[in-house]
Structure 1
Amino acid sequence: MQDFICTTCGVQYPPAEKVPERCIICEDDRQYVLPSGQHWTTLQRINQQYKNIIEQIAEGVYAIYTTPSFAIGQRAHLVQSPDGNILWDCITNIDKSTIAIINALGGIKAIAISHPHYFSTIVEWSKAFDDVPVYVNALDEHWLTRRSPAIQLWNEQELHLWDNIKLIRCGGHFPGAAVMYVPVGKGALFVGDTIQVTPGCNDVSFMYSYPNMIPLQQKDIVQIKQAIEHVDYNVMYGAFGKYITHNAKAAVKASIERYIRIYT
């Protein structure tokens, strides 16, 4: 029995004797199946071929990513906080070195996931840190490929955690797509690609599907605007190493106004 992992999206499936026939994440129209078909690997093989980088990018904030890039290539972020650290989003690769370094930084009290493309190996990550809870919005339960008592489904518009950290459901990219607010400095938003920080790191974009280049509808962009407009933040951390380091709220406001102008 092996826990097979889709090499295209990096999401792990339950133990099985043979590879799954399909990947529900990749068959969704936000993702894709390669012309050569679905391909699979295991965590053990990934450990042998890849390694993780843990890089401090701000005071109390660490980016965690895999080299060479695997699957979607997103970053997770470890945020240190007085009453316990939180891991925002997940990457597929997890190994002894990664666990040791994170424990040296204070460990993990919980994991929060922005949307299904980053479900990766969330059950393995939880197990590695004493079965910590993994927060997934209930609207995205359909895309869970592995189940565990550690997975905590939440239904609120906002889920308040500790140290004034909160998860905010925005929708858009997925029905339950979320961002995380952390009250460090003048406030920070961790957004995955629910809100996509653009290459210039001075504005943002919104998409229903990034690889298939399907834009998000105007009503969904307005929904995201309404979900976060009451939050004060200065910094925004995206999923791919792109960060807006100052005046992030103004950048998002201007980007949304640009979208509305184009749509109208």
Structure 2
Amino acid sequence: MPARRTSSGAALPICTACGTQYAGPRPDCPVCRDDRQYVPVAGQRWTTLAELRAAGHTAKFAEQGPEVLGIGTTESIAIGQRALLLRTTEGNILWDCPPYLDDSMAEAVADLGGITAIAISHPHFYSVMVEWAHAFDAPVHLHEADRSWVGRPDPALRFWSGETRRLTDELTLINPRIHFPGSAVLHWSAGGGALFSGDVLNVCPDCRWITVMHSYANHIPEHPDAVRRAAELLGRYRFERIYGAWWDRVVTADGNAVLRRSVDRYLAWEGATTHPTD
């Protein structure tokens, strides 16, 4: 599948702090003004895809698991978003979205079979999703509850609602309603099963635990009732692996057990009246 040229929104503003692309100039970034993100001390700053390309950013591709390829840049942009290309029997699915795309990057993905559809976990990964959609003539699946965070409306955006949305026979989007009301995780039933979570479920550095937060940047925990409800919903699915938001943050075995013990630990600490001493 050949990719189209990737210049349709090259001059549109991108927030340097979170990577969100907007349809036109504006004084602020609503995503960063929200309490889950932040406006840097130096104030609001903007860039464009054209400027990022001129700065010499280059694509990074790295295997992250069986039939799962990480896509991002060698130099971190914004919060360091990277995407995952799921090479399924029904076509390639792009999970989450990096804040960068150029012709060579698009051509490399096209050589891998292109992209059938794009699905995104939450607004911190919306970034330049419309650029990716246009390059591959692919729909972008977003939950209706987070529609207000879209910075660049486009016909390619497809909004779903409710608790689940089946993309293919093997792929199901699930709305656990943590981190954002419209947050999504993607379940892939192939093999032993896998859960793609962004940082809706954040895989910890040692990859033996996951955690959840309302705001990672500002250290605001998620409400225990929301965490318990999300765990019950996700526990209906079987998965060995959990793919987090960052490079190499992957739980490689016993994903259901990792989720259960991680949620138990979280709820124990959030619900405790006294904490053990160090």
Q: Same fold (TM over 0.5)?
A: yes
Q: Cα deviations across residues 159-188 of structure 1 (Å, max 9, x unaligned)?
A: 001132010001110001110011232000
- The residue number in structure 1 matching 2:19 is 10
Are the equivalent residues in 2 in contact too, given 1:208–1:216 (CA < 8 A)?
yes
SS in 2 for 1:12: coil
Return the alpha-carbon distance in structure 2 between the equivalents of residues 42 and 74 of structure 1.
Answer: 16
Is residue 172 from structure 1 mapped to residue 181 from structure 2 by the alignment? no
Quote the offset at 1:58 in angstroms: 2.2
Is residue 36 from structure 1 mapped to residue 45 from structure 2 by the alignment? no
Aligned match of 1:145 in 140, 151, 173?
151
Return the alpha-carbon distance in structure 2 between the equivalents of residues 257 and 115 of structure 1.
Answer: 24
Quote the offset at 1:51 in angstroms: 1.2
Letter in 1 for 2:34: D
Is residue 23 from structure 1 mapped to residue 39 from structure 2 by the alignment? no
**Which 5+ residue runs of structure 1 have no aligned equivalent?**
none
- The residue number in structure 2 matching 1:209 is 215
Q: Which moved more, 1:218-227 or 1:206-215?
A: 218-227
Quote the offset at 1:263 in angstroms: 2.4
- The residue number in structure 1 matching 2:124 is 117
* CA RMSD between the two structures: 1.1
Aligned match of 1:197 in 178, 203, 223?
203
Letter in 2 for 1:257: D
SS in 2 for 1:13: coil
Aligned match of 1:46 in 32, 47, 52?
52
Letter in 2 for 1:53: K
Is residue 249 from structure 1 mapped to residue 232 from structure 2 by the alignment? no
Return the alpha-carbon distance in structure 2 between the equivalents of residues 147 and 223 of structure 1.
Answer: 31
Q: Which moved more, 1:248-257 or 1:46-55?
A: 46-55
**Which 5+ residue runs of structure 2 have no aligned equivalent?**
1-8, 272-278
Return the alpha-carbon distance in structure 2 between the equivalents of residues 94 and 223 of structure 1.
Answer: 37
SS in 1 for 2:88: coil
- The residue number in structure 2 matching 1:155 is 161
Are the equivalent residues in 2 in contact too, given 1:114–1:191 (CA < 8 A)?
yes
Is residue 98 from structure 1 mapped to residue 105 from structure 2 by the alignment? yes
Quote the offset at 1:112 in angstroms: 0.1
Letter in 1 for 2:65: A
Letter in 2 for 1:3: L
- List aligned pairs for 1:49-64, cutoff 5 A: 49=55, 50-64=57-71
Structure 1 segments (4+ residues) deviating >6 Å: none
Letter in 2 for 1:8: A
Are the equivalent residues in 2 in contact too, given 1:12–1:121 (CA < 8 A)?
yes
